[in-house]
Amino acid sequence: MKLWIANDHGGFQLKLELVAWLREQQIAVCDLGCHSTNIVRYPHYAAAVASRVSAGTGERGILICSTGIGMSVIANRYPNVRASLCTSTYMGRMTREHNDSNILCLGGKITGTFEAVDILHAWLTADYQGGRHDISLGLIADADRAMHNGEVWLPPESRAILASSDADAGKLVDSTKHTQPPAK
């Protein structure tokens, strides 16, 4: 497995811990930086990993910023990337088993080292289950293709949901008009 890792200043310390753990496990990892706590812009580092995973030159990646949110937002803009922000071991396992996640996003300021190692271990060792999950991944691939061609992805099932909610919108109660319960 070819594993890429990158971080911003908020994820630097956790990255050092995870790279050390990966090397102890004899898992090859290519560290794309950043290499200090000096302030940098996370989109540059997310792009470095996401572009490699998207192009297939790296099987999986790890991105770490202060919360993991920004890294996941930018990484998921790349075709064929399924970046998942995980804050628990269960999430790390499930995102591999159900979503075939290929980039793990972590928060260096919100996730402790031991928890992050447990999440990473679960993510690395879990296998994609396929089966019923292939349907959802197929829909994600359809959305990827449409949106990267400048189209709005809105399949018939989603249109039906919108039509149903539009029809029900007229039935919604106006929350600005409060009525008092009857006095006892």
Q: Where are the domains of the chain?
A: 3-125, 133-169
Q: Is 85 helix (H, G, I), strand (E, B) or coil?
A: strand
In the DSSP assignment, the letter for residue 3 is E
User: Among residues 9, 30, 44, 65, which one is catalytic?
Assistant: 65
Looking at residue 175, its pLDDT comes to 46
Are the beta carbons of 68 and 105 closer than 8 angstroms?
yes
Distance of alpha carbon 122 from its chain centroid, rounded? 15
Looking at residue 68, its pLDDT comes to 98
Looking at residue 173, its pLDDT comes to 46
Looking at residue 24, its pLDDT comes to 97
Are the beta carbons of 45 and 84 closer than 8 angstroms?
no
| pLDDT tens over the chain, length 184 residues | 889 999 999 999 999 999 999 999 999 999 999 999 999 999 999 999 999 999 998 899 999 999 999 999 999 999 999 999 999 999 999 999 999 999 999 999 999 999 999 999 999 999 999 999 999 999 999 999 999 899 999 998 998 999 888 777 655 544 455 455 555 5
Nearest-angstrom CA–CA distance, 9 and 135: 38
Instruction: Give how far Cα 87 sits from Cα of 100, 104, 111, 155, Å.
Output: 17, 10, 7, 31
Q: Can 98 be counted among the known catalytic residues?
A: yes
Looking at residue 2, its pLDDT comes to 82
Output the CATH code of domain 3-125: 3.40.1400.10
pTM of the model: 0.88
User: Among residues 98, 121, 148, 178, which one is catalytic?
Assistant: 98
Looking at residue 58, its pLDDT comes to 80
Nearest-angstrom CA–CA distance, 46 and 34: 11
* Residue 63 half-sphere exposure toward CB, CA atoms < 13 A: 33
Q: Can 34 be counted among the known catalytic residues?
A: no
Are the beta carbons of 23 and 16 closer than 8 angstroms?
no
Phi/psi of residue 35, nearest 5 degrees = -115, 30
